[in-house]
Each structure stands twice: as structure tokens, then as C-alpha cells.
Amino acid sequence: MRITLRNQPVVSILLFIAVVLMASCTPDKKKVESETTVDSLALVEAPKPAHLMFGLPVDSFVIENNKVKRNEFLASILLRYDIPYKQIDLLAHKSKDTFDVRKIKVGNPYYVFLDHDTLHTARYFVYEIDKINYVVYNLNDSITITKGQKPVRKVQRTATGIITSSLWNAMTENNASPVLALELSDIYAWTVDFFGIEKGDYFKVMYTEDYVDSTSVGIRSIEAALFMHRGDKFYAFNFQEDSATYNYFDEKGNSLRKAFLKNPLKYSARISSRFSHSRYHPVLKIRRPHHGIDYAAPKGTHVYSIGDGRVIAKGYQAKGGGNYLKIKHNSVYTTVYMHLNGFTKGISKGDKVKQGDLIGYVGSTGLSTGPHLDFRVFKNGKPIDPLKVKAPPVEPVKKEDMKRFKQFYKPLKQSVDNLSLPVAQ
């Protein structure tokens, strides 16, 4: 069969269009190479972030970890790593404004960051001040000392327990921090007799605990609590009164605490000696702790109880305190009044006293160089500086804040009430 092309111009145009279409469909080699390059780059993984420890890249060093041993100091530690004594002395001098190296404690961890090479040159020394704070010593030519903090994670927690023996045991039995027992005893010091807890008393608590990594570093705050004691319910809500002050109130807006008098003397007496762990004794001529405040005052000056409580000891202390009186205010606070010339008439061990009651008179009995009152405060059995006792508030929530307080405590109260108690074994 013969095909005859009669219309040559039309055929030429069709052939031209076909060639153009074929050319447009042919991939451009340079373009393909470019696209391939881009796609291959897209497949390359982004570099992983460096693993940091105390702000230093872990992979860049050999790290040795140890704890401060007895009779070890900054010098004795760094000398083992061939750090010249002159450089150590400079480090200690430069560190004064950041951290006093004399406060390095036995048992605290430290880390030494060494080069990977055969010399293992020490580049950084890191000392953990506590579970959160640390100090980094740069041992390179440009000596620097910086303080840092580990990231702290806040965890909202709850705890409940039925008391069968003691509050402390109830905490451990219910997998709660025993420290929570101390926090609760401080909050409820004026409302719950923790030495008279009865079997069947219970607690419910909502609180915030701080963690570094997976380790608890302490309880930050208790937001709300309920303590059932001898059939009565005692609530506590941590309400913010102003921009910086938080205090505990019950569901009616009353303070859970009572205040102490600023001092046991009614006039402004002169402080002749302060609280100290090492004071030169004016009679014995030796250094020993003085865990109280001495108020110099004329013989016979009236001495008053700084708060409500019960007399738990009265007598003469042969070791130097002379005539003394001890008052237990609650399960947390106890006060002692020493070197008294005498006691108020009729006061005896076991008597209840009210805040401001006359209990004795300033004297100079025992080891004393002159008339004065040695006044001491104990918190949970440990002596504390009387001048640093924070007087708790006694005022209820202010009228202008009551609406805000009600909005604050009601959802917390409901949440606390809804916490389930453990099933009795």
C-alpha cells in the first residue's frame, strides 16, 4: 500500500511540533543532578546535640568521679592531678567571691574532667555544694570559677495514711517522704498534739516535691492538708496573702499558728552575747557552743513566757545554767530560761502557762559574771538562734482578701476530701 503525502507544509509543521514535545520530555541532566544532590542532602541526619554535664561536653573528656574524704581539701585533691600548688592557691584566692573552698565537706561528690590523650591533663574540677548547686573550676590558662545549678523538676504529689503508731512510720508505710512528717508537724504545731496522736488518726496531703534527675531533693511546699485528730478535722491551706507572703489558714480563714513574743523581757534589754557554735566562755576561759541569747539586765528584772505552753522542767543546773525553767509550747518548740535569781511564786513542773505570764526573775546563778538571762529556743529538739525565729502570723485572712481566699481554698478542699485513704491491713 502506498501512502502519498499531498500537503507537504502541513507535514513539516507536524514533524516540528513532535520534535519540540520530545525535547521537552527529555530530562535535563544538570537539573536531575541538582535535584539528586538536594535529595541526598535531605537524607543526611542533623548532628546530635552534645551530652552536657555541668555545662561541659561529656564526650570530650575522661571524667573521674569521687567523694571528698576525711582531711581532704582542694589542694590535696588537685595535687594528685599534677596541678601546681601556685595555681591551686590562685584558684582558692579567685574563688572567694564565688565559693569559699574552706567549706568543702566530707562526703560531697566531685568530678575531674581530663583530656583523652595519654597525658590525661586535668581541665576542669567540679564540686557539688549540695544536690542542686555546684561550682566549676576552669583549670586551663584562663582560670575562671562559676557557680551553676542542676535543672530542678517540680512534681505535684499526694499522700494519705492512717496512723497506727506514729506519723513518721505512717509516712514510710505509705511510700511518702518521712520529711513530710516534719513539715506537717510544723504546720499543725499549734493545733495538733503530735505527742498525743491516737491510733486511727489520719492525714491527707497535696504537696510539691523537687527532683533532680530521678532523685528527690526535698519538699518545696504543702499546698493543702487535712489532719484528722481525735475525731476533729483540721484543714490547712497555703494561701498567698501578698506578692511574697504565704501562710496557712483553715477553711474559715483563721491562722493555724500563734505568735511568740519577740523576747522574754518587756523592756529593750542589751544583748551581751549571741548564738554561737564556738564562743569564748568568760568564766571557763575556753571555747564552747553557746546556743542561746544573753540579755544583760538588772537583778530581779521580770522574765515572761514567750508563748502558751507547759512547764516540763524546773530546778538548778549544776553544769552552769543555775536556776532554770523549761517550757514546751507545742510538739515543735521548747524554750529555756537560765541563770534566774528565782521563780515566780507557785510555779511548778507540769503547770500550764500563758503567753506573757511571769515565770521568774533575772539573776546570776550558775557560771555567770553578772546578772543576765540566758534564753534558748529549741525546734524539734535542736537549738536554733532565738533572733531568727520567724514569728508566725495570728491574724486571720483580711476581709478584703476573703472572697479571693474562698475561691482559692474550695477546689483544694474538694480535692483533699476526694483523696482515698489506704485500705487498712
pLDDT tens sequence across 366-403 = 888 889 999 999 998 999 998 888 765 578 999 999 99
Residue 32 has pLDDT above 70, yes or no: no
Spatial CB neighbours of 343, under 8 Å, sequence gap ≥ 6? 314, 323, 325, 359, 360, 361
Query: How far apart are alpha carbons 184 and 91 in whole angstroms?
Result: 44
pLDDT, residue 282, reads 67
All domains in the chain, ordered by first residue:
56-149 (3.10.450.350), 152-258+392-425 (3.10.450.350), 270-388 (2.70.70.10)
Predicted pLDDT of residue 225: 97
Instruction: State residue 393's pLDDT score.
Output: 58
* Range from 21-25, 136-140, 389-393 that averages highest in pLDDT: 136-140
By percentage, how much of the chain surpasses pLDDT 70?
83
pTM: 0.61
Q: What is the band of 269 on the pLDDT scale with cuts at 50, 70, 90? A: low
Residue 302 predicted with pLDDT over 50: yes
pLDDT in the model for residue 258: 75
Number of helices (H) and strands (E) in the chain: give both, helices first.
Answer: 7, 24
pLDDT value for 345: 92
Task: Summarize the confidence of residues 326-332 as an average pLDDT.
Answer: 90
E-state strands within 101-231: 109-114, 122-128, 133-138, 144-149, 153-162, 202-212, 215-229
